[in-house]
Amino acid sequence: MRILADQNIPGLDAYFHDLGEVRVMEGRDIAARDLRDVDVLLVRSVTRVDTALLQGSRVRFVGSATAGLDHVDINGLGAAGVGFAAAPGANANAVVEYVLAAIAAQPDMLERLLDGGRVGIIGYGHVGRLLRQRLTALGIASLQYDPWLAPGRVPEPASLDAALACEVVSVHTSLTHDAPWPSFHLLGAPQLARLGPQNLLINASRGAVVDQAALLARLQAPDPPKCVLDVWEFEPEVSAALLRRVSLGTAHIAGYSHDAKLAATRQLAQAVQSAFGLVQHAIATAAVADPLVLPAGLRGVAVLRWLCGARYDIRADDRALREAVLEVDADRARRAFDELRRGYPMRRELAGSRVQAGNAEQRRWITALGGDVQ
């Protein structure tokens, strides 16, 4: 079996060496000519996969190491008899920890939320569900807007206006143009006008869910909201004007933890085994990260803020993006954006980590965030 994979998918040797011959290349460069003798194609979100790409190839299975599916023509693959699998939920915890880090990076937002504020969650899929679970464990209320789910599937269902009225608005919907509920430009000028300096908008879903031009106009207007962006409407192009206006900006890496990436690769390996009727063999998980030690004197919200930054420094990713794409020409900025993702440093998750605690309050916060109290 011949396998072609995006070179940014980690763990290929560990998870696929028994399944076939693996060749890697840059995901944005994969073209039809590269697939003529390929049986399995493994991609990330930068590769558009449709029947035109697979024309004339012998590809029988496509795997995407992502949760989002807007880069894959699933119906076209099915009509052509090509199997498909993605990795839904693999990066959910990484994205949730990104959101919590973004909130904790604001001077007073954690305090406001713990004092009765709410988070409006737009999109109640894998990430939205886990975010609500973490918030509930922390004692933070939330509302969820998701018209794409059947009635009864959302615990605290709310209108879009109600979600936008929350202190934090966190966007986690997939990108769709389909009626009756397209998410493309779901947040345009009328919706963004509802947000003021008391609000924090976080988009860690798809860039085009928020109208980029309307967002820039709102951030340039009086009394703008705070905004954290991990995704950009015209990736790999990042609007320099918008980046200068947001509180934090990162290079579409919210789900880029080492744990999430390996979980996605593991899911794809299992899917390939199943699709080709191969003998199922055990696939190892990521090694346990070194334990964390909470400073003994920390109390109250300072404990939570410390934990949210213990495994992930969101400000470092913000600095890296600004240094890479500001004050350079457009071509260099696009290349730099991809390079930030390609060379992203090792990042582990707090959930599942061993954390040494000195008191009951610290142990409660650790448990709420999915850590393992030592």
- What pLDDT is attached to residue 24? 96
User: Do residues 101 and 117 share a domain?
Assistant: yes
Catalytic (active site) residue 252: yes
Find out whether 47 and 236 touch, Cβ atoms under 8 Å: no
Catalytic (active site) residue 281: no
Residue 67 pLDDT > 90: no
- What pLDDT is attached to residue 69? 83
Of the listed 252, 266, 334, 348, which one is catalytic?
252
- 13-17, 82-86, 94-98, 142-146: which range is least confident on average? 13-17
- What pLDDT is attached to residue 284? 60
* C-beta atoms surrounding 56 within 10 Å: 9
Q: Nearest Cα to 210, choosing from 255, 260, 160, 272?
A: 160
Contacts of 255 (CB under 8 A, 6+ apart): 67, 90, 91, 92, 94, 95, 98, 204
Strands (E), the chain: 2-6, 21-25, 40-43, 61-64, 83-85, 118-122, 141-145, 168-171, 200-203, 226-229, 248-249, 292-293, 354-356, 372-373
CA angle at 209 for the pair 155 and 316, rounded to the nearest 5°: 95
User: Do residues 99 and 235 share a domain?
Assistant: yes
CATH number of the domain that residue 300 is part of:
3.30.1370.170
The reply to whether 283 falls in a domain is: no
Tokens 């939205």, residue?
128
Find out whether 135 and 141 touch, Cβ atoms under 8 Å: yes
Q: Nearest Cα to 49, choosing from 77, 24, 18?
A: 77
The band of 280, judged by pLDDT with boundaries at 50, 70 and 90, is: low
Structural domain for 54, as ranges:
2-86+257-275
Token reading at 293: 């030690």
Residue 367 pLDDT > 80: yes
CB-based burial of residue 23 (10 Å sphere; 0-12 exposed, 13-18 middle, 19+ buried)? middle
User: Do residues 98 and 75 share a domain?
Assistant: no
Q: Nearest Cα to 69, choosing from 50, 54, 82?
A: 50
The reply to whether 200 falls in a domain is: yes
> What is the rounded (10 degree) CA torsion for 249, 251, 254, 257?
-130
Alpha-carbon distance values, 149 to 85, 121, 122 (Å): 21, 14, 12
- What pLDDT is attached to residue 283? 62
Residue 249: strand pairing partners: 229
Look at the chain and count its residues: 374
Token reading at 344: 């992203």
The reply to whether 305 falls in a domain is: yes
Of the listed 118, 235, 305, 334, which one is catalytic?
235
Alpha-carbon distance values, 155 to 144, 163, 170, 229 (Å): 8, 13, 16, 26
Average pLDDT over residues 102-126: 97
The reply to whether 282 falls in a domain is: no
User: Do residues 216 and 261 share a domain?
Assistant: no
Q: Nearest Cα to 40, choosing from 52, 282, 24?
A: 24
User: Do residues 223 and 262 share a domain?
Assistant: no
User: Do residues 209 and 164 share a domain?
Assistant: yes
The reply to whether 366 falls in a domain is: yes
CB-based burial of residue 145 (10 Å sphere; 0-12 exposed, 13-18 middle, 19+ buried)? buried
CATH number of the domain that residue 244 is part of:
3.40.50.720
- What pLDDT is attached to residue 228? 98
- What pLDDT is attached to residue 17? 83
User: Do residues 264 and 239 share a domain?
Assistant: no
Residue 323 pLDDT > 90: yes
Token reading at 8: 């940014």
Q: How far apart are CA 98 and CA 253, in angstroms?
A: 9
Q: Which residue has the higher pLDDT, 209 or 289?
A: 209
User: Do residues 78 and 111 share a domain?
Assistant: no
Catalytic (active site) residue 364: no
Q: What is the pLDDT of residues 198-237, one digit of tens each?
A: 999 999 999 999 999 999 999 999 999 999 999 999 999 9
Of the listed 71, 132, 134, 206, which one is catalytic?
206
Average pLDDT over residues 270-299: 83
Looking at residue 364, its amino acid is R
Q: How many folded domains does the chain comprise?
A: 3
User: Do residues 114 and 244 share a domain?
Assistant: yes
Residue 142: strand pairing partners: 119
The reply to whether 280 falls in a domain is: no
- 6-20, 151-165, 303-317: which range is least confident on average? 6-20
- What pLDDT is attached to residue 334? 95
The band of 59, judged by pLDDT with boundaries at 50, 70 and 90, is: very high
User: Do residues 23 and 49 share a domain?
Assistant: yes
Q: How far apart are CA 30 and CA 46, in angstroms?
A: 10
The reply to whether 57 falls in a domain is: yes
Q: What is the pLDDT of residues 330-362, one digit of tens each?
A: 999 999 999 999 899 999 999 999 999 989 999
* Number of Cα atoms under 13 Å in the Cβ half of residue 52: 4
User: Do residues 242 and 98 share a domain?
Assistant: yes
Find out whether 160 and 136 touch, Cβ atoms under 8 Å: no
The reply to whether 285 falls in a domain is: no
Residue 151 pLDDT > 90: no
User: Do residues 49 and 29 share a domain?
Assistant: yes
